Amino acid sequence: MATVHSSQPIAPATNQGWLRAIVGAIPNLLVLGMLFAIFVAGHHYGWKLPRFSALFGSAAGKADDWCDEHLVPESTCLECNAALKSPGKPLGWCPEHGVAECVICHPELAQIKGPPALPAYDTAAAIGVRPRAANNSVSTLHTKVVQIASPEAVDKAGIAVDVVGTGPMREEIVASGEAEFDPTRVAHLSPRVAGTVWQVYKHLGERVAAGDVLALIDAAAVGQAKTELLQAVASRQARQANVDRLRGIQDILANKGQVEAEAALREAEIKVVSAKQSLVNLGFPIPAKLADAEAAAMVEEIHYLGIPDALIQTVKERTQTANLLPLLAPTDGVIVKVDIVRGEVVDTTTPAFVVAEPSRLCLNLHVRQEDAPLVQVGQRVQFETESQPRAAEGQIDWISPAVDHKSRTLPIRVTLDNSAGKLRDSTFGVGRIVLREEPRAIVVPKGAVQTAEGVQFVFVRDKRYFEKDSPKFFHVRQVRVGATSGKQVELLAGVLPGEVVATSGSNVLLAQLLRANLGAGCGCHDGK
């Protein structure tokens, strides 16, 4: 067998591979070069990674005199050296205010130099006004303090402080509703009988007094009723005269005739009463002297019965009809609707006028079910609209015994004083039911209140904070939160006016408190 040998030499396959490897390594070389440059620059300018403990102070000094758990020198650490803390017997839980170590019941706990000022109102009663968040009575966070190496460290950590002050605060329930005319002060007027509008005297928007003539209606039934009264009076007078004549005759026939005449007189008197009642039913007043007058004397008086003297002459000049029925305003108010014009035929179903008294309105509010137990008759309510922040005020005068089955809200009614005339009928808005109002409530910024382990608390600065060689720390004080307004929150227990609390940045203190409470161990995560 012959062996075949190639006459061409085999080119090495590694030339192109090396080229691709060099090109692919360029990005890695660039990254390594940048890191090396940063390292050189940092070494030259002395860059160092910050430690978390630097926010609370430095561990300058002896390396072994540092508490990694509480981030202060171990020799001055209050938590590690119980002997450094101010002696004092724990006062325990306050059931009245729902906080531990209650500063209201024990003002000596207040971090104030000088006599502390107690709240100007009964905060325990205010706590019971509505359900509030309760504190965990077995929590021990209030026994801790958050210690700072120096006041400068507080500024460095961005922690701001503020003095506990007082200010106006109101607690309220907000409910939507509609203001409308008081139904007991709205009169919907219609003629009592059918007829034709003879004259309209009052128009839309005019203010009227009770008894003012709004319009005159020409109704045939009125003239008929007047005629029946005149006939009944004339009949009664004739029969009265017959009775008087027979009483002077003393015989048997006369006595029998007298009995019959007296019966006829009683019948005539009944007809007079019935005729008078017909006119009364039409709205006419019947003066006593008119009822007892002679029929002839009654004709002139009854012709324009019910028309005020100021209008009689004008009416006489224009008509001699006795059919005119005055439509009178039943109460003082303003005409808010007119639906008749002169010459129009109307009947008892025609809504002629609506007269309302706008100085008092009814506000119908719808309160959420969860707020229903807090609502009581007599509570003050402020009503406001989008364009009127304080449109009117009033009091709750009725609370529905049943919840609305559609909206699942509780209907309540409020009587509003609208004497200023700011509101109109059917105005929608918001009612603020005032549960309590304190002109000198204890208030702090909202950022001062923190929550952990089922407890609400604030950080109160120690009163010896600026004394030389005194430890710099904040007390953990349990509180009860009340009303809120804008950026302020009311504290019903836990602090007194004049104390200093951490506000913005207090979450830094919270982080250190929870860190220390859990135990930091060797501190290997503290920036090392």
Of the ranges 194-208, 246-260, 323-337, 468-482, which one carries the lowest mean pLDDT score? 246-260
Q: What is the pLDDT of residues 398-415, one digit of tens each?
A: 999 999 999 999 999 999
- Alpha-carbon distance of 445 to 100, in angstroms, equals 22
Give the rounded percent of residues in the chain with a pLDDT score beyond 70: 80
Of the ranges 28-32, 241-245, 429-433, which one carries the lowest mean pLDDT score? 28-32
Q: What is the pLDDT of residues 323-353, one digit of tens each?
A: 999 999 999 999 999 999 999 999 999 899 9
Q: Is the pLDDT of residue 11 over 70?
A: no
Side chain identity at residue 424, one-letter code: R
Q: How much is the pLDDT for 495? A: 97
Helix, strand or coil for residue 74? helix
- Rounded to the nearest integer, the mean pLDDT of the chain is 85
Confidence class for position 5, pLDDT limits 50, 70, 90? very low
Q: How much is the pLDDT for 403? A: 94
Helix, strand or coil for residue 169? strand
Identify the CA nearest to 295 among candidates 241, 219, 222. Answer: 241
Q: Token match 């981030």: residue?
A: 71
Of the ranges 81-85, 135-139, 299-303, 350-354, which one carries the lowest mean pLDDT score? 81-85
Q: Is the pLDDT of residue 270 over 50?
A: yes
Q: Are 484 and 115 in contact (CB under 8 A)?
A: no
- Alpha-carbon distance of 369 to 30, in angstroms, equals 69
Residue 52 φ/ψ, nearest 5 degrees: -60, -30
- Alpha-carbon distance of 61 to 63, in angstroms, equals 6
Ranges 42-51, 105-114, 232-241, most confident: 105-114
Q: Is the pLDDT of residue 137 over 50?
A: yes
More confident residue, 456 or 52: 456
Q: How much is the pLDDT for 154? A: 84
Of the ranges 23-37, 54-68, 510-524, which one carries the lowest mean pLDDT score? 54-68
**Structure-block tokens of residue 520:** 């930091």
Give the rounded percent of residues in the chain with a pLDDT score beyond 90: 56
Confidence class for position 197, pLDDT limits 50, 70, 90? very high
- Alpha-carbon distance of 189 to 327, in angstroms, equals 8
Q: Are 500 and 120 in contact (CB under 8 A)?
A: no
Q: What is the pLDDT of residues 369-390, one digit of tens each?
A: 999 999 999 999 999 998 888 8
Q: Are 355 and 183 in contact (CB under 8 A)?
A: no
Q: Are 104 and 492 in contact (CB under 8 A)?
A: no
Q: How much is the pLDDT for 35? A: 64
- Alpha-carbon distance of 298 to 322, in angstroms, equals 13
Count of CA atoms in the C-beta half-sphere (13 A) of 188: 7
Integer CA distances (angstroms), 421 to 177, 181, 249, 417, in order? 18, 12, 74, 9
Q: Region 179-201: what's the mean pLDDT?
A: 94
Q: What is the pLDDT of residues 239-257, one digit of tens each?
A: 888 888 887 676 655 677 7
- Alpha-carbon distance of 128 to 30, in angstroms, equals 70
**Structure-block tokens of residue 48:** 């160092």
Q: Are 374 and 130 in contact (CB under 8 A)?
A: yes
pTM of the model: 0.70
More confident residue, 127 or 33: 127
Q: Are 416 and 361 in contact (CB under 8 A)?
A: yes
Q: What angle do CA 184, 276, 215 make, to 5 degrees?
A: 50
Q: Is the pLDDT of residue 54 over 70?
A: no
Q: How much is the pLDDT for 528? A: 36
Of the ranges 58-72, 75-89, 269-283, 426-440, which one carries the lowest mean pLDDT score? 58-72
Is residue 352 classed exposed, middle or buried when 0-12, 13-18 and 19+ CB atoms within 10 A define those classes? buried
H or E segment to which residue 460 belongs: strand 455-461
Confidence class for position 162, pLDDT limits 50, 70, 90? very high
- Kindly tell me the number of DSSP H helices and DSSP E strands found in the chain: 9, 24
Q: How much is the pLDDT for 1? A: 37
Q: Is the pLDDT of residue 122 over 60?
A: yes
Q: Is the pLDDT of residue 104 over 90?
A: yes
**Structure-block tokens of residue 245:** 């004549």
Q: How much is the pLDDT for 298? A: 79
Ranges 83-87, 292-296, 511-515, most confident: 511-515
